[in-house]
Amino acid sequence: TQLLEQSPQFLSIQEGENLTVYCNSSSVFSSLQWYRQEPGEGPVLLVTVVTGGEVKKLKRLTFQFGDARKDSSLHITAAQTGDTGLYLCAGPAGVTGGTSYGKLTFGQGTILTVHP
């Protein structure tokens, strides 16, 4: 079973600060996705990283996929109150010969609170 561990579990910061959330595994993933979930809603896909070493930017959010495709990070610059939410990393669970089984395995999530 491929597991994803996220850290930190909770993050409470002031508006304007920078932060990084980590997603680590002992297994290689063919891709990793980052989602954000707000209370009472479903996860919203932010980005998919596929290539080892890949860096993707989405406004103030920067996503990186580790060279070995075992870890990923999400960095937020100058956090805003609207960034508050649960951040989840996820990856295809069970890959054989490059073909995903379809289902995703999720990290436990990082609850981010940005105070004004």
Residues that bind another protein (CB under 8 A): 30-31, 33, 35, 40-45, 48, 50, 88, 90, 92-93, 99-109
Q: How far is the CB of 93 from another protein (least distance, A)?
A: 7
Q: Which 8-state DSSP code applies to residue 35?
A: E
Q: Which is nearer to another protein, 18 or 33 (CB)?
A: 33
* CA angle, residues 113, 7, 81, in degrees to nearest 5: 15
Q: How far is the CB of 97 from another protein (least distance, A)?
A: 11
Task: Return the amino acid letter for 70.
Answer: K
24 vs 28: CA distance, rounded Å: 10
Q: Which is nearer to another protein, 76 or 90 (CB)?
A: 90
Q: Which is nearer to another protein, 85 or 109 (CB)?
A: 109
SS3 assignment, position 81: helix
Chain centre distance of CA 52: 15
Q: How far is the CB of 11 from another protein (least distance, A)?
A: 16
